[in-house]
Protein backbone atom coordinates (compact mmCIF):
# COMPACT_ATOMS: atom_id res chain seq x y z
CA UNK A 1 0.00 0.00 0.00
CA UNK A 2 1.44 3.33 -1.02
CA UNK A 3 1.58 6.19 1.48
CA UNK A 4 0.10 9.50 0.28
CA UNK A 5 1.38 12.80 1.71
CA UNK A 6 1.04 16.49 0.79
CA UNK A 7 3.25 17.85 -2.04
CA UNK A 8 6.97 18.21 -1.24
CA UNK A 9 8.79 21.49 -1.97
CA UNK A 10 12.44 22.55 -2.00
CA UNK A 11 12.12 26.08 -0.60
CA UNK A 12 15.58 27.24 -1.73
CA UNK A 13 16.73 26.70 -5.33
CA UNK A 14 18.31 28.74 -8.12
CA UNK A 15 16.83 27.52 -11.40
CA UNK A 16 19.31 29.50 -13.51
CA UNK A 17 22.19 27.59 -11.91
CA UNK A 18 20.90 24.05 -12.52
CA UNK A 19 19.60 21.90 -15.35
CA UNK A 20 15.95 22.27 -14.36
CA UNK A 21 14.83 19.59 -16.83
CA UNK A 22 16.47 17.09 -14.49
CA UNK A 23 13.96 18.01 -11.77
CA UNK A 24 11.17 16.45 -13.81
CA UNK A 25 9.77 13.17 -12.65
CA UNK A 26 11.53 13.33 -9.27
CA UNK A 27 9.97 13.70 -5.87
CA UNK A 28 9.70 17.50 -5.86
CA UNK A 29 6.21 18.84 -6.56
CA UNK A 30 7.38 22.43 -6.24
CA UNK A 31 10.42 24.67 -5.88
CA UNK A 32 10.98 28.21 -4.65
CA UNK A 33 13.61 30.15 -6.59
CA UNK A 34 15.47 32.37 -4.11
CA UNK A 35 17.34 34.67 -6.47
CA UNK A 36 17.94 35.21 -10.16
CA UNK A 37 17.03 37.42 -13.10
CA UNK A 38 13.33 38.08 -12.49
CA UNK A 39 12.35 38.01 -16.17
CA UNK A 40 14.22 34.77 -16.84
CA UNK A 41 12.91 33.03 -13.72
CA UNK A 42 9.35 34.22 -14.43
CA UNK A 43 9.58 32.64 -17.89
CA UNK A 44 10.85 29.39 -16.34
CA UNK A 45 7.92 29.45 -13.89
CA UNK A 46 5.42 29.85 -16.74
CA UNK A 47 7.07 27.03 -18.68
CA UNK A 48 6.91 24.74 -15.63
CA UNK A 49 3.20 25.45 -15.28
CA UNK A 50 2.64 24.44 -18.91
CA UNK A 51 4.78 21.34 -18.46
CA UNK A 52 3.12 20.19 -15.25
CA UNK A 53 1.91 16.99 -16.86
CA UNK A 54 5.50 16.10 -17.78
CA UNK A 55 6.41 16.18 -14.09
CA UNK A 56 7.93 19.66 -13.88
CA UNK A 57 7.73 21.05 -10.31
CA UNK A 58 5.68 24.20 -9.93
CA UNK A 59 7.81 27.32 -9.39
CA UNK A 60 7.43 30.22 -7.00
CA UNK A 61 10.12 32.88 -6.89
CA UNK A 62 11.53 36.07 -5.39
CA UNK A 63 13.01 37.68 -8.50
CA UNK A 64 16.31 39.50 -7.96
CA UNK A 65 18.52 39.67 -4.89
CA UNK A 66 17.94 43.08 -3.27
CA UNK A 67 21.04 44.50 -1.58
CA UNK A 68 23.19 47.56 -1.00
CA UNK A 69 25.30 48.84 -3.94
CA UNK A 70 28.18 46.37 -4.35
CA UNK A 71 26.58 43.91 -1.94
CA UNK A 72 26.44 40.12 -2.16
CA UNK A 73 26.18 38.36 -4.59
CA UNK A 74 27.08 41.01 -7.19
CA UNK A 75 30.77 40.03 -6.95
CA UNK A 76 30.19 36.30 -7.51
CA UNK A 77 31.06 34.57 -10.77
CA UNK A 78 27.87 32.49 -10.60
CA UNK A 79 25.58 35.51 -10.25
CA UNK A 80 23.43 35.76 -13.42
CA UNK A 81 23.09 39.04 -15.32
CA UNK A 82 20.32 41.19 -13.87
CA UNK A 83 20.03 39.07 -10.72
CA UNK A 84 20.99 41.87 -8.33
CA UNK A 85 18.83 44.94 -7.73
CA UNK A 86 20.71 47.56 -5.74
CA UNK A 87 18.69 49.51 -3.19
CA UNK A 88 20.51 52.71 -2.23
CA UNK A 89 18.10 54.25 0.26
CA UNK A 90 14.72 53.77 1.94
CA UNK A 91 13.16 55.84 -0.87
CA UNK A 92 14.04 53.10 -3.40
CA UNK A 93 12.57 50.22 -1.40
CA UNK A 94 9.02 50.25 -2.72
CA UNK A 95 10.12 50.50 -6.39
CA UNK A 96 12.58 47.63 -5.97
CA UNK A 97 9.83 45.42 -4.56
CA UNK A 98 7.24 46.48 -7.13
CA UNK A 99 9.65 45.49 -9.91
CA UNK A 100 9.89 41.94 -8.57
CA UNK A 101 6.15 41.69 -7.89
CA UNK A 102 5.41 42.90 -11.44
CA UNK A 103 7.21 39.78 -12.72
CA UNK A 104 5.09 37.59 -10.43
CA UNK A 105 7.37 37.28 -7.39
CA UNK A 106 5.51 35.98 -4.34
CA UNK A 107 8.32 36.75 -1.86
CA UNK A 108 11.23 39.20 -1.69
CA UNK A 109 14.89 38.31 -1.12
CA UNK A 110 17.31 40.60 0.70
CA UNK A 111 20.98 39.79 1.19
CA UNK A 112 22.73 40.66 4.44
CA UNK A 113 26.22 39.23 3.91
CA UNK A 114 28.72 41.37 5.78
CA UNK A 115 31.57 39.05 4.83
CA UNK A 116 31.12 39.80 1.13
CA UNK A 117 30.43 43.52 0.98
CA UNK A 118 28.03 46.22 2.15
CA UNK A 119 24.53 45.38 3.39
CA UNK A 120 21.43 47.61 3.41
CA UNK A 121 21.48 49.94 6.40
CA UNK A 122 18.82 49.72 9.11
CA UNK A 123 16.42 52.31 7.65
CA UNK A 124 16.66 50.76 4.16
CA UNK A 125 16.05 47.24 5.49
CA UNK A 126 13.15 48.58 7.55
CA UNK A 127 11.67 50.25 4.47
CA UNK A 128 11.97 47.01 2.48
CA UNK A 129 10.22 44.99 5.20
CA UNK A 130 7.51 47.63 5.52
CA UNK A 131 6.87 47.94 1.77
CA UNK A 132 6.80 44.16 1.34
CA UNK A 133 4.31 43.88 4.20
CA UNK A 134 2.05 46.46 2.57
CA UNK A 135 2.07 44.35 -0.60
CA UNK A 136 1.47 41.09 1.24
CA UNK A 137 4.74 39.44 0.20
CA UNK A 138 7.07 37.93 2.80
CA UNK A 139 10.76 38.90 3.02
CA UNK A 140 13.44 36.21 3.04
CA UNK A 141 16.99 37.17 3.97
CA UNK A 142 20.40 35.65 3.35
CA UNK A 143 22.30 36.30 6.58
CA UNK A 144 26.03 35.65 6.82
CA UNK A 145 28.56 37.15 9.19
CA UNK A 146 28.50 38.41 12.72
CA UNK A 147 25.31 40.20 13.80
CA UNK A 148 23.40 39.73 10.54
CA UNK A 149 20.89 37.22 11.95
CA UNK A 150 20.18 39.65 14.78
CA UNK A 151 19.73 42.45 12.23
CA UNK A 152 17.21 40.37 10.24
CA UNK A 153 15.29 39.15 13.27
CA UNK A 154 15.10 42.65 14.73
CA UNK A 155 13.90 44.12 11.43
CA UNK A 156 11.01 41.64 11.20
CA UNK A 157 12.32 39.58 8.27
CA UNK A 158 9.88 36.67 7.77
CA UNK A 159 12.26 33.90 6.70
CA UNK A 160 15.99 33.15 6.82
CA UNK A 161 17.16 31.60 3.55
CA UNK A 162 19.70 29.45 5.41
CA UNK A 163 19.94 28.20 8.95
CA UNK A 164 22.57 30.59 10.37
CA UNK A 165 25.95 28.85 10.26
CA UNK A 166 28.58 31.57 10.71
CA UNK A 167 27.91 32.07 14.42
CA UNK A 168 26.06 30.43 17.29
CA UNK A 169 22.91 32.46 18.04
CA UNK A 170 22.20 32.84 21.74
CA UNK A 171 18.99 31.39 23.17
CA UNK A 172 17.37 34.80 23.66
CA UNK A 173 17.78 35.66 19.98
CA UNK A 174 16.53 32.22 18.90
CA UNK A 175 13.45 32.66 21.09
CA UNK A 176 12.85 36.11 19.64
CA UNK A 177 12.95 34.66 16.11
CA UNK A 178 10.39 32.04 17.17
CA UNK A 179 8.10 34.53 18.91
CA UNK A 180 8.12 36.78 15.83
CA UNK A 181 6.97 33.80 13.73
CA UNK A 182 10.15 33.64 11.66
CA UNK A 183 10.76 30.53 9.54
CA UNK A 184 14.16 29.08 8.71
CA UNK A 185 15.06 27.23 5.55
CA UNK A 186 17.37 24.35 6.46
CA UNK A 187 20.22 24.17 3.83
CA UNK A 188 22.38 22.05 6.14
CA UNK A 189 23.89 19.81 3.47
CA UNK A 190 25.74 22.68 1.71
CA UNK A 191 28.13 22.52 4.69
CA UNK A 192 28.84 18.80 4.33
CA UNK A 193 32.56 19.47 3.67
CA UNK A 194 32.81 21.95 6.57
CA UNK A 195 31.94 19.98 9.69
CA UNK A 196 32.39 22.96 12.01
CA UNK A 197 29.94 25.22 10.14
CA UNK A 198 27.46 22.38 9.79
CA UNK A 199 27.63 21.72 13.52
CA UNK A 200 26.92 25.41 14.27
CA UNK A 201 23.93 25.32 11.89
CA UNK A 202 22.56 22.06 13.35
CA UNK A 203 22.89 23.44 16.88
CA UNK A 204 21.09 26.67 15.91
CA UNK A 205 18.34 24.73 14.11
CA UNK A 206 17.94 22.28 17.00
CA UNK A 207 17.27 25.10 19.47
CA UNK A 208 15.01 26.95 17.00
CA UNK A 209 12.95 23.80 16.40
CA UNK A 210 12.82 22.88 20.10
CA UNK A 211 11.51 26.38 20.88
CA UNK A 212 8.67 25.92 18.38
CA UNK A 213 10.19 27.58 15.31
CA UNK A 214 8.78 26.72 11.90
CA UNK A 215 11.26 24.97 9.63
CA UNK A 216 11.18 24.81 5.83
CA UNK A 217 13.09 22.13 3.92
CA UNK A 218 15.49 23.68 1.41
CA UNK A 219 18.82 22.71 -0.13
CA UNK A 220 20.09 25.73 -2.13
CA UNK A 221 20.08 23.81 -5.43
CA UNK A 222 22.67 25.43 -7.67
CA UNK A 223 25.16 25.79 -4.82
CA UNK A 224 27.70 23.05 -5.59
CA UNK A 225 26.95 19.42 -6.39
CA UNK A 226 23.57 18.54 -4.91
CA UNK A 227 21.06 15.88 -5.95
CA UNK A 228 18.33 17.38 -8.18
CA UNK A 229 15.71 15.56 -6.12
CA UNK A 230 14.76 15.07 -2.48
CA UNK A 231 18.13 15.14 -0.70
CA UNK A 232 18.47 12.31 1.82
CA UNK A 233 21.58 13.95 3.32
CA UNK A 234 19.63 17.15 4.03
CA UNK A 235 16.94 15.13 5.79
CA UNK A 236 19.54 13.17 7.77
CA UNK A 237 21.00 16.47 9.02
CA UNK A 238 17.48 17.67 9.97
CA UNK A 239 17.02 14.47 11.97
CA UNK A 240 20.33 15.23 13.73
CA UNK A 241 18.84 18.63 14.65
CA UNK A 242 16.05 16.79 16.45
CA UNK A 243 13.26 16.90 13.86
CA UNK A 244 11.11 13.78 13.98
CA UNK A 245 9.20 12.28 11.06
CA UNK A 246 6.20 14.60 11.47
CA UNK A 247 8.42 17.69 11.67
CA UNK A 248 10.46 16.69 8.61
CA UNK A 249 7.30 16.07 6.57
CA UNK A 250 5.83 19.41 7.73
CA UNK A 251 9.05 21.15 6.58
CA UNK A 252 8.87 19.41 3.18
CA UNK A 253 5.14 19.98 2.67
CA UNK A 254 4.84 23.65 3.70
CA UNK A 255 3.36 25.68 0.80
CA UNK A 256 5.38 28.79 1.77
CA UNK A 257 5.44 31.49 0.37
CA UNK A 258 1.79 30.81 -0.47
CA UNK A 259 -0.96 29.48 1.77
CA UNK A 260 -1.76 26.52 -0.49
CA UNK A 261 -0.11 24.32 -3.09
CA UNK A 262 -1.53 24.31 -6.63
CA UNK A 263 -4.47 21.94 -6.85
CA UNK A 264 -4.12 18.29 -7.74
CA UNK A 265 -0.63 17.53 -6.41
CA UNK A 266 0.42 14.99 -3.79
CA UNK A 267 3.40 12.89 -2.75
CA UNK A 268 3.32 9.12 -3.16
CA UNK A 269 5.76 6.72 -1.50
CA UNK A 270 5.53 3.04 -2.35
CA UNK A 271 8.16 1.65 0.06
CA UNK A 272 6.87 0.57 3.47
CA UNK A 273 7.10 3.27 6.14
CA UNK A 274 10.32 2.88 8.15
CA UNK A 275 10.25 2.02 11.83
CA UNK A 276 13.72 3.41 12.65
CA UNK A 277 14.53 7.15 12.38
CA UNK A 278 17.79 6.42 10.55
CA UNK A 279 15.78 4.97 7.66
CA UNK A 280 13.61 8.09 7.30
CA UNK A 281 15.91 10.03 4.88
CA UNK A 282 16.11 7.22 2.32
CA UNK A 283 12.38 6.55 2.60
CA UNK A 284 11.43 10.19 1.94
CA UNK A 285 14.02 10.46 -0.83
CA UNK A 286 12.12 7.66 -2.58
CA UNK A 287 9.04 9.89 -2.89
CA UNK A 288 7.41 10.55 -6.24
CA UNK A 289 4.90 13.19 -7.25
CA UNK A 290 1.41 11.78 -7.45
CA UNK A 291 -1.15 13.66 -9.52
CA UNK A 292 -4.88 13.39 -9.04
CA UNK A 293 -7.16 13.62 -12.06
ZN1 LIG B 1 20.80 30.38 -2.48
Q: What is the pLDDT of residue 54?
A: 78
Give 109 Cα–ligand 1 centroid separation in angstroms: 10
**Domain residues of the chain, as ranges?**
3-291
Compute the distance from residue 185 Cα to the ligand 1 centre, in Å: 10
Q: In angstroms, what is the span from residue 96 Cα to ligand 1's centroid?
A: 19
Which residues line ion ligand 1, judged by CB < 5 Å? 220
> Given this model, what pLDDT does residue 292 score?
65
Distance from Cα 160 to the centre of ligand 1, integer Å? 11
Distance 268 CA to ligand 1 centre (A): 28
How far apart are the CA of 12 and the centre of ligand 1, in A? 6
What pLDDT score does 25 carry? 84
Q: What is the pLDDT of residue 1?
A: 80
d(CA 222, CA 241): 24
CA of 7 to the centre of ligand 1 (A): 22
**CA 133 – ligand 1 centroid, Å:** 22
What per-residue confidence (pLDDT) applies to 118?
A: 95
Residues in the chain where the model's pLDDT stays below 50:
none
What is the Å distance from ligand 1's center to 112 Cα?
13
How far is it, in rounded angstroms, from Cα 284 to Cα 273? 9
Determine the distance separating the centroid of ligand 1 and the alpha carbon of 1, expressed in angstroms: 37
Does domain 3-291 bear CATH number 3.20.20.140? yes
φ, ψ of residue 119 to 5 degrees: the values are -125, 155
Distance from residue 34's CA to the centre of ligand 1 (Å): 6
Bridge partners of 38, per DSSP, are none
CA of 121 to the centre of ligand 1 (A): 21
Residue 162, C-beta contacts closer than 8 angstroms, at least 6 positions apart: 12, 142, 143, 144, 184, 185, 187, 190, 201, 220
Q: What pLDDT score does 282 carry?
A: 96
According to DSSP, residue 201 is labeled H
Q: Measured between alpha carbons, how far is residue 187 from residues 78, 116, 126, 231 in Å?
A: 18, 19, 26, 10
Q: Which of 48, 243, 66 is nearest to 140 (CA)?
A: 66
Tell me how far the alpha carbon of residue 52 lies from the centroid of ligand 1, in angstroms: 24
Query: How many A from CA of 193 to the centre of ligand 1?
Result: 17
Antiparallel, parallel or unpaired: β 108-113 and 139-144: parallel
Q: What is the per-residue pLDDT for 26?
A: 85
Distance 223 CA to ligand 1 centre (A): 7
Strands 265-269 and 288-291, sheet pairing = antiparallel
CA of 270 to the centre of ligand 1 (A): 31
Q: Calculate how far, in angstroms, residue 249's C-alpha sits from the geometric centre of ligand 1.
A: 22
Summarised one tens digit per residue, pLDDT across range 125-154 is 999 999 999 999 999 999 999 999 999 999
162: CA distance to ligand 1 center in Å? 8
Q: How far is the CA of 159 from the centre of ligand 1 (A)?
A: 13
Amino acid sequence: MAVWLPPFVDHHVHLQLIDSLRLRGGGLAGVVDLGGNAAVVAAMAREATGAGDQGAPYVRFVGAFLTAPGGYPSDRAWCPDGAVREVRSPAEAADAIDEQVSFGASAIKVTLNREAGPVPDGPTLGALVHAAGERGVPVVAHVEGSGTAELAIGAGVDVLAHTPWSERLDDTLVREAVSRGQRWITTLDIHRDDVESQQVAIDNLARFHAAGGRVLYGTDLGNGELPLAINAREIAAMVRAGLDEDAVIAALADPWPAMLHPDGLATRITDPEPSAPEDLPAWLAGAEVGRRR
